[in-house]
A and B are shown apart, each in its own frame.
Chain A
Amino acid sequence: MNCAESEVLIHALIDGELDAGHAREVEAHVATCRGCADKLGAFRAMRAAITAAELKEKAPTHLRRRVEAALTSPPTEAAGAAGRLGAWLTIARASRRNFLGGFALGTAVSAAVAASVVITVLGAGEDRRIAGEIVSAHLRSLQGSHLTDVETSDQHTVKPWFNGKLALSPPVVDLTAQGFTLIGGRLDYVDGEAMAAIVYKRRKHLINLFVGPRLGGAPRGAKTAMVQGFNVYHWAQDGLGFWAASDINADELAEFGRHIADTKRPPSARP
């Protein structure tokens, strides 16, 4: 890593946005470079000062009331959609200046934005860091010759193999019919925790499903993150944390995750 790269990446480091691998690289550079170390210290202090200054504004009470009123004013019953638009325009005109006139009609663009800004990502910080660790473990499994400890497509061989090696019993399911071939399983360590890694394959792509005690926050739903170009699909179920990592696209990985999650549900709960 050189100073030019480091100058950009120290900010991602401060913001907790780097995966473990890159964080180590930046820290290694900073340890040997006085200039970058000074910068890291200065920017850390500056970020702390900004946070301490509590720059988030408080919306004035009159604005809160005004917005609430605008959102509450019921559209006239008979008028339908046109009437509703009319009501909004009336509210717009009633605002202190004719500020709103300029964009009262140009909503097509914002609709497109509204539709596109629905990406689900892991939150910054802890979840993000763990997603980084998961991808690092995924990468390790691809690089070495240690993809599986037990190599078999038989789920009834893989599942018992974990007995006595882990304090949990991961679900191992056969998803051949769904297009995911079971390759085998291995014991892995992520963020210092022993985890079951169950390996599947779809076409040429490998999927590592990590199952372990829940790390990080308590996710309330499934989440997808992209780390270094790999997708990570994460959910929690039955007190276990599940992380699927692969280079297949996010949709397919989510499909994979749902298959695993569904098989763990009682049949009555399945759709």
Chain B
Amino acid sequence: MLDRPQPRALAAPRVSGHYYMAAASDEDKARRFRDAALPFLDDVFTLARYLMRNETDAEDAVQECYLRALRHFDSYRGPAIKPWLLAILRNVCKAEFARRSAVPASSEGRDDDRVEDPPAIWQGPQPSPEAELLQRSDGQRIRRLVAELPQPFREAVVLRDINNLSYREIVDVAGIPLGTVMSRLARARSMLRAAWNGEEGSTT
């Protein structure tokens, strides 16, 4: 369920000058787009990194996302550009999975939270000095456990806990009802907690 665009007579643009003006040149439009969208490159890359299986694919998806977004910038009516970009990125990744697989990887219109692809395996930590490694090990471990969650749950956790989207924004990005967002997050965190406790148990 997506709300219609709200009238914005009172709204001051949150991102300076993202309104399209007929007279504006393509160059001007591209510049305004860069100003508005590039600050979210880390967010877009993060989601791409968790959705795609390797870094190369993630980077390609990020680039395609930005090119697509620029093409549709005319019809963009803000103000929240982050979820808009993430929704486009998600489509890019989905389309790529669909292209690679004879079996459609789409979860559109389904609400059964079926596990659709094998968990992504995060690449091992980069070599680093011991002290730093120790400090980073907790982070590395959480990251790996998140990356090992099955797709719909991984996405929910990344959008909420790493990209910091509100539930309503996740509704828009993932195209699922609010109730599904809530139940998915609850399940995802339970799975994460179980995985975490399982490791604690085996290492201590």
Q: A residues near B, CB below 8 A?
A: 7-9, 11-12, 15, 17, 42-43, 46-47, 49-51, 53-60, 63-64, 66-68, 70-72, 74-75, 84, 88, 91-92, 95-97, 99-100, 102-103, 106-107, 109-111, 113-121, 123-124, 128, 220-224, 226, 235, 250-251, 254-255, 257-258, 261
Q: With A59-B41, A120-B6 as given contacts, are A99 and B46 in contact (CB-CB < 8 Å)?
A: no
* Besides A97-B56, A110-B91, A121-B169, 13 other A-B contacts (C-beta < 8 A): A56-B43, A59-B44, A63-B62, A64-B41, A72-B34, A74-B30, A102-B95, A114-B76, A115-B75, A116-B2, A118-B5, A118-B78, A221-B79
Contact in complex: A257, B10 (CB < 8 Å): yes
Count of interface residues, chain B, beta-carbon cutoff 8 Å = 82
Contact in complex: A114, B10 (CB < 8 Å): no
Q: Provide the bound-state CA to CA distance between A220 and B13, in Å.
A: 8
* B148 interface hit (Cβ, 8 Å): no
Contact in complex: B66, A261 (CB < 8 Å): no
Contact in complex: B167, A114 (CB < 8 Å): no
Chain B residues in 8 Å Cβ range of A102: 95-96, 99-100
Shortest beta-carbon distance from A93 to chain B in Å: 12
Chain B residues in 8 Å Cβ range of A84: 26
Contact in complex: A50, B142 (CB < 8 Å): yes
Q: With A50-B161, A59-B42, A114-B72 as given contacts, are A258 and B139 in contact (CB-CB < 8 Å)?
A: no
Shortest beta-carbon distance from B86 to chain A in Å: 9
Chain B residues in 8 Å Cβ range of A221: 8, 10-14, 79
* B121 interface hit (Cβ, 8 Å): no
Shortest beta-carbon distance from B172 to chain A in Å: 5
* B19 interface hit (Cβ, 8 Å): no
Q: With A100-B60, A103-B92, A114-B88 as given contacts, are A47 and B3 in contact (CB-CB < 8 Å)?
A: no
SS class of chain A's interface: helix, strand, loop or mixed?
helix
Nearest 4 A/B pairs, CB to CB:
A221-B11, A102-B99, A53-B139, A124-B166
Q: What are 26 inter-chain pairs, A to B, with CB distance below 8 A?
A: A8-B182, A9-B182, A43-B189, A49-B138, A50-B146, A56-B42, A56-B163, A58-B42, A59-B62, A63-B62, A88-B67, A92-B67, A99-B96, A100-B64, A102-B100, A103-B92, A110-B68, A115-B75, A117-B83, A117-B84, A118-B5, A118-B77, A119-B6, A123-B166, A221-B79, A261-B10
* B33 interface hit (Cβ, 8 Å): yes
8 Å CB contact of B10 from A50, A72, A99, A258: A258
Chain B residues in 8 Å Cβ range of A111: 72, 75
Q: Provide the bound-state CA to CA distance between A129 and B84, in Å.
A: 24
Contact in complex: A106, B95 (CB < 8 Å): yes
Shortest beta-carbon distance from B179 to chain A in Å: 9
Interface residues of B in 32-87 (CB under 8 A from A): 33-34, 38, 41-46, 49, 56-57, 59-64, 66-72, 75-80, 83-84, 87
Contact in complex: A46, B193 (CB < 8 Å): yes
Q: B residues near A, CB below 8 A?
A: 2-14, 26-27, 30, 33-34, 38, 41-46, 49, 56-57, 59-64, 66-72, 75-80, 83-84, 87-88, 91-92, 95-96, 99-100, 138-139, 142-143, 146, 157, 160-163, 166-169, 172-173, 175, 182-183, 185-186, 189, 192-193, 196
Closest to A17 in B: B167
Contact in complex: B166, A119 (CB < 8 Å): no
Contact in complex: B59, A66 (CB < 8 Å): yes
Closest to A58 in B: B42
Q: With A59-B45, A66-B63 as given contacts, are A47 and B11 in contact (CB-CB < 8 Å)?
A: no
Chain B residues in 8 Å Cβ range of A63: 41, 45, 59, 62-63
Q: Provide the bound-state CA to CA distance between A271 and B33, in Å.
A: 28
8 Å CB contact of B186 from A11, A66, A100, A223: A11
Shortest beta-carbon distance from A261 to chain B in Å: 6
Shortest beta-carbon distance from B10 to chain A in Å: 4
Chain A residues in 8 Å Cβ range of B56: 96-97, 99
